[in-house]
Chain A
Amino acid sequence: MDLVTPAIGLVFWTVLIFLILLVLLGKFAWKPILNAVKERTDSIREALSSAEKAKEEMAKLQADNEVILKEARIERDKIIKEARDLKDQTIAEAKNQAKAESDAIIASAKAAIENEKRAAINEIKDQVAKLSVEIAEKILAKELSDKDNQKALIEDLLNKTNIN
Chain B
Amino acid sequence: MKRVFAFLSVLFFAFALIASEEHPADNHTTNQEKEFDPTEVIMHHISDAHDWHLFDLTNKETGELKPVSIPLPVILLHDGNLDIFMSSEFHHGHSNVKKGDKEYTLYHKKIYLAEHGELQFDEHQHPTNAMPLDFSITKNVASLLICAVLLLLIFIPMAKMYKKGKGIPRGIQGFLEPIVLFVVEDIAKPNIGEHKYKRFLPYLLTVFFFIWFNNMLGLIPIFPGGANLTGNIAVTFTLAFFTMVITNVNGNRNYWSHIFNTPGVPWWLKYPIPLMPFVELVGVLAKPFALMIRLFANITAGHIIVLSLVSLIFIFKTVWISPAAIFFVLFMDVLELLVALLQAYIFTLLSALFIGLAVQEHH
Which of A24-32, A75-83, A129-137 faces chain B? A24-32
Q: Given A9-B134, A22-B206, A26-B206, decide whether A34 and B234 contact each other with a Cβ distance below 8 A.
A: no
CB contacts under 8 Å to A, within B85-126, are 109-110
Chain B residues with CB under 8 Å of A12's CB are 135
B141 pairs with A10, CB closer than 8 A: yes
Which residue of chain A is the closest to B136 with respect to CB atoms? A9
Stretch at the interface among B26-34, B152-160, B261-269, B310-318: B152-160
Docked-complex contact B138 and A18, CB < 8 angstroms: no
Known: A9-B134, A29-B159. A15 touches B238 (CB 8 A): yes
Is A14 in contact with B205, judged by CB distance below 8 angstroms?
no
In the bound assembly, the distance between CA atoms of A15 and B238 in angstroms comes to 6
Contact with B along A110-153 (1 / 0, CB 8 A): 00000000000000000000000000000000000000000000
Q: Which residues of A contact B206 (CB under 8 A)?
A: 18, 21-22, 25-26, 30
A7-B48, A11-B237 given; A18·B242 CB < 8 A? yes
A141 CB to nearest chain B CB (Å): 146
| Shortest distance between the CB of B93 and any CB in chain A (Å) | 15
Residue B307, interface by CB 8 Å: no
Given contacts A13-B141, A28-B159, contact A2 B167 (CB under 8 A): no
Report the minimum CB–CB distance from B113 to chain A (whole Å): 16
Contact flags B38-53 to A (C-beta < 8 A → 1, else 0): 0000010011100000
Q: How far does the Cβ of A28 sit from chain B's closest Cβ, in whole Å?
A: 5
Chain B: number of interface residues, binned into ranges:
35 or more
CB distance from A3 to the nearest CB of B (A): 5
Q: B151 at interface (Cβ–Cβ under 8 A)?
A: yes
Known contacts A22-B206, A29-B158, A36-B167; is A4 also within 8 Å of B233 by CB?
A: yes
Chain A nearest CB, measured from B118 CB (Å): 22
Contact partners of B155 in chain A: CB under 8 A: 25, 28-30, 33
Q: Which of A7, A31, A43 has the most CB of B within 10 A?
A: A7
A148 to chain B, nearest CB (A): 155
Q: Are B159 and A33 in contact (CB under 8 A)?
A: yes
Contact (Cβ within 8 A) A6 B16: no
A44 to chain B, nearest CB (A): 9
B20 interface neighbour in A1, A21, A26, A31, Cβ under 8 Å? A1
**Known contacts A25-B155, A28-B156, A29-B156; is A11 also within 8 Å of B202 by CB?**
no
| Interface assignment of A5: CB less than 8 Å from any CB of chain B | yes
Cβ of A17 under 8 Å from chain B: yes
Q: Closest CB-CB distance, A38 to chain B, in whole Å?
A: 10
Cα separation A153 to B242 with both chains bound (whole Å): 174
Contacting pair B134 A7 (CB below 8 A): yes
Residues of A within 8 A of B141 (CB): 9-10, 13, 17
Q: Hey, which chain A residues are within 8 Å of B133, CB to CB?
A: 8-9
B162 at interface by CB-CB < 8 Å: yes
A40-76 residues at the B interface, CB under 8 angstroms: 40, 43
CA distance A32 to B160 in the complex (A): 8
Bound complex: CA of A9 vs CA of B296, how far in Å?
A: 17
Chain B residues with CB under 8 Å of A28's CB are 152, 155-156, 159
Contact indicator A14/B202 (Cβ below 8 Å): no
Interface residues on A, range: 35 or more
Partner of A13, one of B135, B202, B209: B135
A32 adjacent to B163 (CB under 8 Å): yes
Residue B351 interfacial (CB < 8 Å): no
Which B residues lie within 8 Å of A6 (CB)? 233-234, 237-238
| Residues from chain B with Cβ under 8 Å of A22 in the complex | 202-203, 206
B210 close to chain A: CB less than 8 A: yes
Q: Answer yes or no: B215 CB below 8 A from chain A CBs.
A: no
Complex: how many Å from CA A9 to CA B43? 20
Residue interface bits A87-99, CB-to-B below 8 A is 1, else 0: 0000000000000
Write out the residue numbers on chain A whose beta carbons fall within 8 Å of the beta carbon of B296: 4
12 A-B pairs with CB atoms under 8 Å apart are A3-B233, A6-B234, A8-B134, A14-B235, A14-B239, A18-B238, A21-B210, A25-B205, A29-B152, A29-B155, A29-B159, A34-B180
Interface residues of B (CB under 8 A from A): 16-17, 20, 43, 46-48, 75, 109-110, 133-138, 140-141, 144-145, 148, 151-152, 155-156, 158-160, 162-163, 167, 177, 180-181, 184, 201-203, 205-206, 209-210, 232-235, 237-239, 242, 296, 300
Q: Which residues of A contact B (CB under 8 A)?
A: 1-15, 17-18, 20-22, 24-26, 28-34, 36-37, 39-40, 43
Having A29-B152, A36-B159, one finds 14 other A-B pairs with CB under 8 Å, namely A4-B296, A6-B233, A9-B141, A10-B235, A17-B145, A26-B206, A28-B156, A30-B155, A30-B159, A31-B202, A32-B162, A33-B159, A33-B162, A33-B180
User: What 7 A-B pairs come out closest when comparing CB atoms?
Assistant: A36-B162, A26-B202, A29-B155, A10-B234, A6-B234, A40-B167, A32-B159
